[in-house]
Amino acid sequence: DFRRAEQLIDAAVESNKTLLHTHHLWHNAASAYAMCGKADKAIKWLRECADMGLPNYLLFGSDPHLRGLHNRPEFLALMSDLRREHDTYREEFGLAGGNHFV
């Protein structure tokens, strides 16, 4: 029931309650919005998630619930930003190899 799912997601992300690790809620909300066909909302919450503590390039690229976003310019721009950040961290911390989305 996509309509009910969207109502519940909207309520969760609009809540004023302080939650530890809210960025995980935002990732889950983005996944659910993507599955409901609400790409704009999904990308908005992925961006929030990345900006506020979970800039996980590999997770976003491999999350099967986000596959419907993979060809959207906004998602590709977000992933490009996250890839640069990911690569910077890998270089800074001397991590070999490179798992990359796309």
The pLDDT value recorded for residue 102 is 46
pLDDT at 54 over 80: yes
Average pLDDT over residues 27-51: 94
Which amino acid, residue 98?
Answer: G
Q: Considering the chain, what is the average pLDDT of its residues?
A: 88
**pLDDT classification of 9: cutoffs 50, 70, 90:** confident
d(CA 79, CA 48): 13
Q: pLDDT at position 98, please?
A: 55
Mean per-residue pLDDT, 51-72: 94
- Whole-number Å distance between alpha carbons of 18 and 5: 22
Element spanning 41, H or E: helix 39-51
For the residues 16-43, what does the mean pLDDT come to?
Answer: 87
How many Å from the N-terminal Cα to the C-terminal Cα in the chain?
31
Q: How far apart are CA 69 and CA 46, in angstroms?
A: 11
What is the pLDDT averaged over residues 62-69?
96
Whether the per-residue pLDDT at 100 is higher than 70: the answer is: no
pTM: 0.78
* Encoded amino acid at 90, one letter: R
